[in-house]
Amino acid sequence: MFLLAEGGHHTPLIVEFINHYLGEPVYNLQMATTYKIWSFWLAKIGTTPEAVFGPYSPETAIPWYTIMFTIACLLSILVIWIFKGKLSQDDPGSGQLTLEAGFLAIKDLVVNVIGEHGYKYFPIVATFAVLVLVSNLMGLFPLFMSPTASVNVTFALGISSFVYYNYVGIHENGIINHLAHFTGPKLPLVMTLIITPLIFGIELISNLIRPLTLGVRLFANMFADEQISSQISGLYPPFTQFLLPVVLLPLAVFVAFVQTLVFTLLSMIYISEVSHPPHDHFEDVPGQHHSHTTGEALTTAHV
C-alpha cells in the first residue's frame, strides 16, 4: 500500500533521537485522541488504525516523514538566508548571484505560464519550488531521508496546491464564475443541455483527482529513485556502497530537479486556468482560457 510506503529501509538516527525524548508524550496523546477517532471510523469498514498506519508505539509516535519534512522547512529558510548573505548591488557574492539566478528562473517561468499578472503568485510558487527541491535533495545526505519519498508528504503538498489554486479562482472570479469555468465553451442551447453537464462532470472529477496525481507522481519518482540507489548499492558490499553511489549521484540530483520542475510547473498551470489579467472579463468568454490551459496541463501530466 502507498500509505505504508517509506523512502528507505532504515530509521535515521535523528528520528530515533527525537522519538526517544518526545515519543512517549506524543504516543499518550495519540492514544487518548486520534487513535480513538480512527478506531471508530475504520471499524465501519472492517479495519484498524494499526492495519492502515502501522503499529502504534513511542518509538514510532512521530513518523520519520514528519520529522524530515519539518527539517526540510527549516533547511529551506536556512539555505535562502545563507545564499542571501549580505546583499550588495555593487559587489554581490556567489550566493547572492545563485539566489538571483533562481529568482529570475522562477519569475520567467511564472510570467510565461501564468502571464505578467501572475507575478503576484511568485511567493507561493517559489515556496513550492524551494521546499520540494530541498526535500528531494535531503536523501542524498547522511542521516537524512527525502520526505517526498513518503506519499503522506506528497499528498499534503498536492492538497496544498489544490486548495491554493481553487482559492485563487474563487477570490478572482467568485464562486459562480469559478464553477462556470468547468463547463467549457459556450454552445448552442440544445448542445448546452446535453454536452455542458457532461463536460462539467468530467472537469470536476479531473480537478478533484489532481491532488492524487500530483502526490503520486512526486512520490513514485522519489521513492523509486531511493529504492534503485539502495538496491544497486547493496549488490556487492562494501565496494558498491562506496563507488556506485558516487556514480549515481548526478542522476539522483537530476531527478530531484526534474520532479521539482514538474510539480511547480503543474501548480502554475492550474493557477493559470483560474487566473486572468485584470482587464479580461471571465463572464464574457467562459471556458475559453480554461480550454487552452487544460491542454497544457494534460500535455505536462505525461512528463
65: in domain: no
Domain span at 215 = 92-300
75: in domain: no
Spell 115-125 as b/e; 16+ CB within 10 A means b: eeebeebbebb
What dihedral angle (degrees, nearest 10) is formed by the CA atoms of 271, 202, 178, 189? 130
pLDDT, residue 297, reads 40
Distance CA 14, CA 8 (A): 15
220's grid cell:
513514485
Q: How many domains does the chain have?
A: 1
Distance CA 108, CA 119 (A): 9
249: in domain: yes
pLDDT, residue 7, reads 42
Q: How does pLDDT run along the chain (303 residues), one tens digit per residue?
A: 334 444 444 688 999 999 999 999 999 999 999 999 999 999 999 999 998 888 899 999 999 999 999 999 999 999 999 888 777 777 788 888 888 899 999 999 999 999 888 889 999 999 999 999 999 999 888 889 999 999 999 999 999 999 999 999 999 989 998 888 888 777 787 777 888 888 889 999 999 999 999 999 999 999 888 888 777 777 777 766 677 777 788 888 999 999 999 999 999 999 999 988 776 544 444 444 444 444 344 334 443
176: in domain: yes
Distance CA 150, CA 272 (A): 28
19's grid cell:
522519538
Distance CA 256, CA 144 (A): 15
Angle at 220 (CA atoms; ends 219, 226), nearest 5 degrees: 90
34: in domain: no
210: in domain: yes
pTM: 0.82
149: in domain: yes
| CA proximity to 262, closest of 225, 215, 227, 202 | 215
248: in domain: yes
pLDDT, residue 279, reads 61
pLDDT, residue 263, reads 96
